[in-house]
Amino acid sequence: MSQSADVSVGDAAARDLLVDLVEIPSPTGDERACAERLAAFFEERGREVRIDEAGNVRAPADDSVLLTSHIDTVPGDIPVEMTDGELWGRGSVDAKGPLAAMAAAAIETGVSFVGVVGEETDSRGARFLVEDREEPDAVVNGEPSGWDGVTLGYRGFLSGEYAVSTDSAHTSRPEANAIQDAMAWWQAVESAFSTESEAAFPSAEADGNADGEEGASADDDAPVFEQVTAKPVEFSGGVAADGLSVDATVEAQFRIPPGETAAGIRETVEDELESGEIEWNEPIPPVMETPRSEVARAFRTGIRRVGGDPRLLRKTGTSDMNLYAAAWDCPMATYGPGDSELDHAPNEHLDLGAFDRAVAVLEHVSETLQS
């Protein structure tokens, strides 16, 4: 499906959209008001748009490239204000800056656009999208990379809950209770992955040019990107309500680098079980795109045209691009204005000059992929 790109947005309208989106709170699960404002931006400019069953804002058009970013944010009330050319507010960086920049570029160039919901938790918007529409020719996912950076790789994600129970006993007894079992298990898990990382990566130096590509560079987190990271995110335990047992649970998350699998991580974790059991959630696989794809090349050219020195990045976290790469066999990358160090931070803010440059880069990329 294609629609003509005969409406010019302009820097002022793009910035107005950005401010409106940041001013409308949209923590995960409460994205509707923000989605309606985004949809109105397309309706006012004559574009077909709808909010689908999942809550995604979908503006189908030229599928030479799909521009997509997320509407939801993590919780947190940061007063919205403009200071010295910077917009402060929750979501200004993650990811309403990329979202607004993509909406403006989609209007200017006539390419397809989707604003998805739920990225900060279960990615329900992206999961619905890959099941509900055909594969586009290319994808640009919206997350902060800095206006002169483009992200080609993300680690995958695996989570699970460990649970253990022991009979209650007097605390003077020497036998370990469930809380101690859970603590010992987690220490063993951390040790197992620490040993694997040290064996595989004895040096902590960052990589040089990625894949030898001109203008390509690895981010400073390169050694971390290539390792499994194990992290407990919630630990609870105590005497059960009936007083007959001591129970403990650990919510754990694992980041999966390219070259590793969820099955391999599960095996390592389960090898450390002496008691208790683990219930695993559905994993998200890692992704590493080539810097030689037409999408990566278009970004390098576009960033240079706007006066930047392109940086090719690999991120230690996980994004919706992982799901798109698993479902669709097309070139893709992640891009957006903003310093990712400010993701979820209490001082989250976005440089508006960088936002304007990102819109220009996205327009160039979209036009290049259309040709």
Catalytic residue among 31, 62, 63, 119: 119
Whether residue 120 is annotated as binding a ligand: the answer is yes
Catalytic residue among 31, 62, 72, 351: 72
Helix, strand, coil share (%) of the chain residues, nearest 5: 35, 25, 40
Whether residue 364 is annotated as binding a ligand: the answer is no
Whether residue 94 is annotated as binding a ligand: the answer is yes
Q: Write out the DSSP string of 70-103.
A: E--B-S-----EEETTEEESTTTTTTHHHHHHHH
Whether residue 44 is annotated as binding a ligand: the answer is no
Query: Has 72 been annotated as catalytic?
Result: yes
Instruction: Pick the closest to residue 189 from 138, 233, 232, 131 (CA basis).
Output: 232
**Which two three-digit tokens encode residue 34?**
């923000």
Query: Has 214 been annotated as catalytic?
Result: no
Instruction: Pick the closest to residue 335 from 149, 100, 108, 156 (CA basis).
Output: 149
Strands (E) across the chain are located at: 50-51, 57-59, 62-70, 81-83, 86-88, 111-116, 139-142, 149-154, 156-167, 229-239, 245-256, 277-280, 287-288, 311-315, 332-335, 349-351
Compute the chain's Rg from CA coordinates.
23
Whether residue 234 is annotated as binding a ligand: the answer is no
Instruction: Pick the closest to residue 24 from 38, 10, 11, 12 (CA basis).
Output: 38
The CA distance from 186 to 155, in Å, is 21
Q: What's the one-letter identity of residue 281?
A: N
List, in order, residues 6 or more apart from 223 with CB less than 8 Å away: 201, 203, 204, 205, 206
Which residues fall in the annotated binding site for Zn(2+)?
Answer: 70, 94, 120, 143, 344
Catalytic residues: 72, 119
Which residues fall in the annotated binding site?
Answer: 70, 94, 120, 143, 344
